[in-house]
Amino acid sequence: MSTLNADPAELARFNALAERWWDEDSEFRPLHRINPHRLDWIDALAGLRGKQVLDVGCGGGILAESMARRGARVDGIDMAAMPLRIARAHAERVGEANVAYADSSAEDWAQHHAGRYDVVTCMEMLEHVPDPAAVVAACARLARPGGWVFFSTINRNPLSYLVAIVGAERVLRLLPRGTHTYSRLIRPAELRGMATRAGLSLHEQRGLGYNPLTQRFRLHRFMGIGYLLAMRAGASA
């Protein structure tokens, strides 16, 4: 049975923008600029070479393809058809054979691939679904015992509203207006709680910062706005 843990308006938005996914000067410029930082962090902790990896909510494949270039065997899943088409076309164009894409929710994928993956990533996706806890639980089921599960999302507080929504969408126009809904943002304690209930344990956490003067991102200790969690799956996950 298919699990539709998705907002049709969100899927429509990403489908409409899909053709520009790999344009580094488009609405996806922030994803291109944060990707080296999150990729290096994931690789440093999990060691991607030779690992079986799943990217949940892969979109047009920026992270999935970059992990494949690091030597991982990567599956990418998403529920938006047009970004998946772009991801497949780009991988074929650049000759990246170690990545494959499928139209699926995390919950559906977990029904047939539980315990398969050394590394599961779910980046910039949880704030776009109606039931993030269900996605977190599915990611935990997909990881093998002792495997890694990585999440990234945006904190919910007045500062994140000013920076991630007012600043990024309305002032700097780094993202299309309406990309994020404040009520769907997730506090770190909330996400850690979802992960703990799913059988995951916290290994490391980082904040994501942006300097509007240099237009550069970096990982640091402050988690008041964007943040990333590195979790480990237990023997019972």
Q: Does residue 50 have a known ligand-binding role? A: no
Q: Does residue 57 have a known ligand-binding role? A: yes
Q: Does residue 118 have a known ligand-binding role? A: no
Q: Does residue 55 have a known ligand-binding role? A: no
Query: Residues with Cβ < 8 Å from 53, sequence gap 6 or more?
Result: 64, 67, 72, 73, 74, 75, 117, 118, 119, 120, 121
Task: Assign 221 to helix, strand or coil.
Answer: coil
Nearest partner of 56 among 102, 14, 9, 10, judged by Cα: 102
Task: Assign 62 to helix, strand or coil.
Answer: helix
Helix and strand tally (H, E) in the chain? 8, 8
For residue 69, the surrounding DSSP H or E stretch is helix 62-69
What does each C-alpha distance from 43 to 58, 66, 125, 231 come to in angstroms?
17, 11, 20, 14
In angstroms, rounded to a whole number, what is the distance separating the alpha carbons of residues 90 and 67? 14
Which residues face 143 on adjacent strands?
117
Q: Binding-site residues for S-adenosyl-L-methionine, please? A: 38, 57, 78, 123
Q: Binding-site residues, please? A: 38, 57, 78, 123
